[in-house]
């Protein structure tokens, strides 16, 4: 089967590109391996830039039940400090967000193939991109967008994660007192082997998403129950939050090998890489979704302007590099034992610093292409 544009992966970035191009009259096929959206490991924080882009795509997050997030709180050991966020933010489960994005893509006229995994993506002798699916069928197009998120396709892999991060997500129903106390805050908790974020999402529940080094997990016997106990021991503030909480999933969902700090250097003709396939920012910034939307918007604009994919990818890298490095530096700081040791004393000055960090790590601020590029 042949189309004008082929998009591999129907998460945030893939859906956003497909909507932008279908609205400009392009014939687009999007291939997504999951039959229906499901839980993904994600803190589910939507930054101000993400909200703007989602609005331009026609996604009304408030109507989907998104919870406004007005504060960010940092907790290390027994101390916590909070600062108002310098932008509007919200939180929404990925299941709800991905469902809305796929529906919007279909409404825009994208031909969506769900429940169909792509095994390989390669160039034909006639210069088309050919996606070969699990069932052996294939789709071809002169242009393809790679949007498989954390999953690498053979031949298009990213370097291995040297720090061996492991990430987990669990939903909890917090006790009424803790629900009221957490309220409209996104709370970052620090441990000796990583960090975690807890925040309310729709339906009165809380998302707890954590990222730890493999050796920290190993010290907990590679068991979730021991790991969550260890994190609470490291950070009594988390223990307080989870006191009396009811876990809502049988077990947490987990992923490994997250190449934080990765930015794709280049690509091949006709293949635009977006979302986590373009860049992976440390999770604590809560900016991955915003980057997925931003890279999608820029890639769609580049394609429509006939900018070759390798030129687009190189320009994107240069634009994102300084802020990505800053975010990485900040993440390393949080995971540095000396920094953590003095952090409780820094908490009094932390709110101001956090506001600055939040502003500086906005990789999407100097938008070369405005959110209107998604609009009809």
Ligand X SMILES: Cc1cc2nc3c(=O)[nH]c(=O)nc-3n(C[C@H](O)[C@H](O)[C@H](O)COP(=O)(O)OP(=O)(O)OC[C@H]3O[C@@H](n4cnc5c(N)ncnc54)[C@H](O)[C@@H]3O)c2cc1C
Can you give the binding site for ligand X, defined by CB under 6 A? 8-14, 31-34, 40-45, 50, 117-118, 147-151, 153, 167, 209, 211, 258, 275-276, 283, 286-290, 292
Sign of CA dihedral 72, 316, 15, 167: negative
Rounded CA separation 42/127 (Å): 36
Query: Which residue's CB is nearer to ligand X, number 18 or number 290?
Result: 290
Q: CB of 92 within 8 A of CB of 64?
A: yes
The least CB distance from residue 342 to ligand X, in Å, is 26
Rounded CA separation 206/182 (Å): 9
The least CB distance from residue 345 to ligand X, in Å, is 28
The least CB distance from residue 291 to ligand X, in Å, is 6
Residues 6+ apart with CB under 8 A from 74: 80, 81, 82, 187, 188, 190, 347, 350, 354
Query: Which residue's CB is nearer to ligand X, number 99 or number 175?
Result: 99
> Quick one: the chain helix, strand, coil %, rounded to 5?
40, 25, 35
Residues 6+ apart with CB under 8 A from 294: 49, 53, 363, 364, 367
Please give the residue whose beta carbon sits closest to ligand X in the complex.
Answer: 11
Query: Which residue's CB is nearer to ligand X, number 132 or number 179?
Result: 132
The least CB distance from residue 295 to ligand X, in Å, is 8
Query: Which residue's CB is nearer to ligand X, number 75 or number 153?
Result: 153
The least CB distance from residue 348 to ligand X, in Å, is 26
Per the DSSP assignment, residues forming a β-bridge with 105 are none
Neighbours of 127 (CB within 10 A): 9
Q: What are phi and psi of 291, to 5 degrees?
A: -65, -40
Query: Which residue's CB is nearer to ligand X, number 125 or number 282?
Result: 282
The least CB distance from residue 108 to ligand X, in Å, is 17
Query: Which residue's CB is nearer to ligand X, number 270 or number 275?
Result: 275
């Amino acid at each position: 089967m042949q189309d004008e544009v082929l998009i591999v992966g129907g998460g945030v970035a893939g859906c956003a590109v497909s909507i932008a191009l279908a609205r400009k009259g392009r014939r687009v096929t999007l291939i997504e391996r999951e039959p229906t959206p499901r839980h993904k490991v994600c803190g589910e924080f939507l930054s101000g830039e993400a909200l703007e882009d989602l609005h331009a795509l026609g996604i009304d997050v408030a109507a989907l039940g998104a919870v406004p997030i007005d504060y960010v709180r940092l907790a290390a050991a027994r101390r916590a400090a909070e600062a108002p966020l310098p932008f509007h933010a919200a939180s929404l489960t990925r299941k709800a967000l991905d469902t809305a994005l796929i529906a919007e893509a279909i409404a825009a006229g994208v031909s969506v193939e769900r429940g169909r995994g792509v095994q390989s993506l390669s160039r034909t002798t006639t210069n088309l991109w050919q996606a070969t699916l699990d069932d052996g069928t294939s789709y071809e197009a002169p242009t393809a967008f790679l949007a498989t998120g954390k999953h690498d396709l053979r031949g298009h892999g990213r370097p291995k994660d040297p720090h061996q991060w492991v990430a987990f997500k669990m939903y909890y129903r917090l006790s009424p007192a803790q629900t009221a106390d957490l309220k409209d805050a996104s709370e970052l908790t620090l441990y000796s082997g990583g960090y975690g974020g807890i925040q309310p999402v729709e339906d009165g529940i809380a998302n707890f998403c954590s990222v730890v080094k493999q050796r920290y997990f190993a010290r907990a016997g590679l068991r979730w129950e021991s790991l969550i106990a260890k994190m609470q021991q490291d950070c009594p503030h988390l223990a307080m939050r989870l006191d009396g909480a009811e876990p809502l999933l049988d077990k947490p969902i987990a992923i490994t090998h997250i190449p934080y700090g990765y930015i794709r250097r280049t690509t091949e003709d006709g293949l635009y890489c977006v979302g986590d396939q373009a860049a992976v920012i440390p999770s604590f910034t809560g900016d991955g979704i915003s980057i997925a939307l931003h890279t999608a918007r820029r890639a769609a604009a580049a394609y429509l302007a006939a900018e070759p994919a390798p030129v687009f990818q190189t320009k994107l890298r240069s634009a994102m590099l300084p802020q990505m490095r800053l975010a990485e530096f900040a993440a390393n700081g949080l995971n540095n034992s000396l920094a953590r040791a003095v952090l409780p004393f820094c908490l009094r000055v932390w709110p101001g610093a956090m506001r600055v960090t939040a502003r500086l790590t906005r990789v999407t601020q100097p938008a070369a292409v405005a959110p209107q590029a998604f609009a009809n």
